[in-house]
Structure 1
């Protein structure tokens, strides 16, 4: 054994350096994917022109007035969509990572806990009942009722899940089973609304349930960005407590961690991050499952590094999937939710076949 191998500080620094290299590599890969996504589409621009437009947008916006068509395509249409895809992928992956750590089960995610089903029920209610659901919102802001309803019902689902678990004891198994049951109930509600509504609203509900970035605009980006960043910073600040929780509730309590408060606030913040994005994009599944699992494969279980790694992976997976969704059959656009169902289903089966469905201990 060499002196380097015997030195624990050197080993620690070596491991930490490797993790930083992984994160920086993922960040560079995400940036390159952004440039590609801004370039891809019917209106093709050279990569160097994309970089020039981005530089002018920051330093001299007036210079873009001479290239209005390029400005409209790149800045007004593609860029909000790219940013929303990144924020949504980050939120869902981080939420899945934190939920898995809190509940000590690698199959937990906003999708499997029923949050997506609850948000879809909220959106379906807004589509069917329209302004009557929120009479204080002006009629011209119909999309606002969908966003608000999906967000509120998403929060309600987590409240119900936690309330049920508190009645029977706050075990992770009870929380997971509660999420599955609540998800089925909200799914039944969506089916009833689809059955009762007319053809036009039925098509709108079905389109929303498929998930996509069609509604991406700078207004959505301005709303989602602070929510995503604040939730990410809070959850990252609790990474040490999440690591401690992995040793067991009793050990965490002995080390001064308020386990019940950590679990409650962690679930609420993760719900806020994911439901805020789902309210704009519709149902997008499996990001919260794939991001953390791939992250563990390449960076380990330390939540200080796993949370940002999951965020970058989730952003990359959703951005590349959305870019494929709008270009693979151009000019026809495939809902990105459909692509994620296919990719996520295959990934889920691989996890099961490899025996990775065991509860984290």
Structure 2
């Protein structure tokens, strides 16, 4: 076979994989809308969705089913998909920028910083932001988590500019900043009362309890814009894999790419984490499985990781709310179990080179 035919064959295989993942995700979405203590047949779910789009007045006769599908399950499913996409593409791009497969939003201290912001808001409430009405306590938590997540990346960037912008410097700065914010969370947990301590603990576990259409409306455009921008940088990310010097010779502004890539990845991850709490391993599992399926070409790896992240988190969240129905398990706990088993599998299969 000629090089051209080999390239076209490889491209066709990658597209088939992406389309297959998309089909599996669509099937999983319908199952997630079906699963739960209140059982609604698949045909009724499809009818309700169509009527909600074309004729909302027709749903007045089935308010209970409409409430379950449209008001409760659908925003939760969409938020899980958006969160999986955001965390996976953030981890994928961060790993490409720093040429380290262990990098993720959590490795760089983002999750610890968001945790500290949420803990501050839970302990001190609206007194942190007196201009926000007292009834918007959850809004203060979301905003503080978001702002502290951004602050962590800003601190990492300042440190890297002071001591050089090598990937090792950025990773070490992220680890150190993560420890500092984790210490802050521990102090707040030690000083607060039992009720707020429980609230902090639940937020740190991560979950989709706060899913609603308001959260979807905020997160969806951020996720879409971040995905489109990061996908547009795929060629530059591919050139960066050969080293900074090679990328510079190819005309890539490495420092600007690294800074903007980290900032956009942080925006994607922190916007979701502000609503869901801490959910681990997605930013590592999605890119790793994607590389196994589709290779290292970021043009295909980024969308592949996005689909895998959405699929993994949606399945995990569906299991979290149904496996012990009516009791709901925090999806963060499910993700720690799945993530631990996944990496143990890699080690036992002799594939530890993927993560070293």
TM-score range relative to shorter protein: over 0.9
Is contact 1:122-1:150 (8 Å) kept?
yes
Structure 1-normalised TM-score? 0.96
Structure 1 residue runs of 5 or longer lacking an equivalent are none
Q: Tell me the alpha carbon deviations over residues 73-107 of structure 1, each in whole angstroms, 9 at most, x when there is no partner.
A: 00000000000000000000000000000000000
Question: Deviation above 4 Å: which 4+ runs of structure 1?
Answer: none
Q: Tell me the alpha carbon deviations over residues 21-46 of structure 1, each in whole angstroms, 9 at most, x when there is no partner.
A: 11111111001000000000000011
* 1:277 has 2:272 as partner: yes
Cα distance in 1 for residues equivalent to 2:318 and 2:115: 23
Residue 35 of structure 1 corresponds to 30
Is contact 2:288-2:354 (8 Å) kept?
no
Is contact 1:107-1:357 (8 Å) kept?
no
- Alignment match of 2:115 (pick from 113, 120, 126): 120
Let me know the Cα RMSD of the aligned residues: 1.1
- Alignment match of 1:140 (pick from 135, 138, 147): 135
Q: Tell me the alpha carbon deviations over residues 250-285 of structure 1, each in whole angstroms, 9 at most, x when there is no partner.
A: 010011100000000000000000000000000000
Cα distance in 1 for residues equivalent to 2:179 and 2:43: 49
2:353 partner SS: coil
Residue 153 of structure 1 corresponds to 148
Q: Structure 1 residues 351 and 182 mapped into 2: Cα distance closer, same or farther (>3 Å)? A: farther
1:357 Cα deviation after fit: 5.0
Cα distance in 1 for residues equivalent to 2:345 and 2:152: 29
Residue 333 of structure 1 corresponds to 328
Residue 48 of structure 1 corresponds to 43
Q: Structure 1 residues 334 and 97 mapped into 2: Cα distance closer, same or farther (>3 Å)? A: same
Aligned length: 354
* 1:356 has 2:356 as partner: no
2:103 partner SS: coil
1:109 partner SS: coil
Q: Please, which moves more after superposition, 49-58 or 200-209?
A: 49-58
Cα distance in 1 for residues equivalent to 2:57 and 2:96: 48
Q: Please, which moves more after superposition, 213-222 or 164-173?
A: 164-173
* 1:237 has 2:239 as partner: no
- Alignment match of 1:217 (pick from 205, 212, 220): 212
* 1:10 has 2:5 as partner: yes
